[in-house]
Chain A
Amino acid sequence: MLAGNIEYYQPSTVNEAVEQFFILKKENKLPMYYAGGTEILTLGRLNIIHPGAIIDIKAIKETLSHESYQEHFIFGASLPLTYIEEKNIFPLLTQTSMEIADHTARNKITIGGNVCGNIFYREAVLPFLLCDSTVVVAGKEGQKTHPIQDIFNKTFQFEEGQFLIQLLIEKKYLTLPFITIKKRQQWETGYPLITVACIKIENQLRFAFSGLCPFPFRSQKVETELNNTLLPKEERINHAIEQLPTPVLNDVEGSKEYRLFVLRNTLKEMIVEMEEKE
């Protein structure tokens, strides 16, 4: 349980939430936005984070959107992962999500909470990186939309007081061929080693990674090498690995060498399967 005198607020509008943030900030109360809250409660219990006030955004209706809007589909930041899985509008997101934590925990973990979390896996962001999604963010200057490539660099680059309202995907991406593979060191429920997600669009493969580096990422350089069909698969993979961002993780879940070994085999498996898909 969190320690200390922490205040709790549940605004019902985006503006109220942002205003409350800056009021609390002015009072030096270290406010934090809260959706599912699983990470805040677990990291708070371990004394790793120390919020003075939490602003629960789950009552804000825009954060609960799950609907079509013109050429896009909207995922509200407060939607629990299991809700998204049950509706299964975006199968790549469903499959990626189903590998996160466990079913009961995913009743509480929200899509916004996962992609904005401190814990570095943040696998739910991979489908959004692959599909050039749009991010709706609230802040002091109102609501703004950003292409995800402009605002996600290892983590979401939010300004103080900003929070994620929605993630939008162009509908053309919802049903593309895909594979998402999560490898664990042991069993089916162990901590993740690496997750790789891949889609095929206009005969090109796109890849996004989690658990390989201390941040999730999609890399143009890596994709260019993996799509160089003039070379044999093994060579393409070798060249792609040379383009990986650094550092490659080397921790208790797996050494750097082991992660790269697993990555190499996973990429080969994915390329073989995806290049056959129409």
Chain B
Amino acid sequence: MPNPSAKKISVSLNINGEMRQVEIRPIDTLLYVLRHHLSLTGAKPGCLNGDCGACSVMVNDNVYKSCIMLAIESVGSAITTVEGLKDSPIQNAFVKHFAFQCGYCTPGFIMNCQALLLKHPHPTYEVVKEWLSSNICRCTCYQEIEEAIFSVVEGRVGGTSE
């Protein structure tokens, strides 16, 4: 069992391929630890209620809302934040298709799209719609985001990392 102390505990988190040692409280959310302990500010605080998806990250290639996940739950798993994607096809597709306006929700959308494409390299429209319903864009870039996804599916946008 982990250290039962309610005070800070030291854990190793595998983030973007690097092992990071961090002192956390057991009740710290993953979002809080990423932003306040590790200065990884790509995941954004939005609703903090699991509704908006701005804080989405990948854990073992599955997408999660990091505001409703404790950091301690991710010990032993591979966490990927938007900072861990470098020149990925979906990032390039977002730029090419102007799939953002203010950009606040963009990292969350990108992580959701990345996880979607890992699991479904050739998703149907219905699958894309279902996955995208997890994120909210107040600038309403949904059409452009769908276009960005399908441009990656159809191989119209490249990148150097998957």
Give A residues with C-beta under 8 Å from B.
Answer: 1-2, 4-12, 16, 20, 37-38, 41-42, 45, 54, 56, 58, 98, 101-105, 107-108, 188-189
Contact = CB atoms under 8 A, between A and B. Distances in A.
Given A10-B2, A38-B50, 8 more contacts: A6-B26, A12-B1, A37-B70, A41-B68, A103-B130, A107-B62, A107-B63, A108-B68
Contacts of A20: 1
A10 B1 contact: yes
Nearest to B72: A8
Contacts of B49: 42, 45
Contact of B131 (A12, A103, A188): A103
Main secondary structure of the interface of B (DSSP, over half): loop
Contacts of A188: 133
B111 to A, nearest CB: 9
A45 B48 contact: yes
Determine which residue in A1, A6, A12, A188 has the highest number of CB atoms from chain B within 10 A of its CB, and name it: A1
A41 B28 CA distance: 10
A105 B72 contact: no
A38 B53 CA distance: 13
Nearest to A6: B27
A98 B127 CA distance: 12
Contact of B133 (A10, A16, A103): A103
A7 B6 contact: yes
A56 B48 CA distance: 21
Interface string B58-82: 0000111101111011000000000
A188 B26 CA distance: 36
A1 B48 CA distance: 8
Contact of B112 (A16, A42, A98, A104): A104
Nearest to B116: A103
A1 B29 contact: yes
Contact of B26 (A8, A11, A41): A8
B5 interface: yes
Contacts of B64: 104, 107-108
A107 B64 CA distance: 7
Given A1-B32, A9-B1, A38-B50, A105 B70 contact: no
Contacts of B5: 7
Contact of B27 (A8, A9, A108): A8
Nearest to A59: B1
Determine which residue in A98, A107, A189 has the highest number of CB atoms from chain B within 10 A of its CB, and name it: A107
A223 to B, nearest CB: 32
B156 interface: no
B155 interface: no
Contacts of A6: 6, 26-27
A221 B28 CA distance: 48
A56 B76 CA distance: 15
B4 interface: yes
A104 B130 contact: no
A85 to B, nearest CB: 10
A217 to B, nearest CB: 26
B68 A102 contact: no
Nearest to A1: B29
Contacts of A16: 1
Given A1-B32, A38-B50, A38-B68, A104 B134 contact: yes
B156 to A, nearest CB: 25
Contacts of A56: 73
A54 B1 CA distance: 13
Contact of A5 (B6, B62, B63): B6
A5 B8 CA distance: 10
A104 B26 CA distance: 23
A1 B56 contact: no
B69 A1 contact: no
B26 A1 contact: no
Contacts of B62: 107
Contact of B50 (A12, A42, A58, A189): A42
Contacts of A101: 50
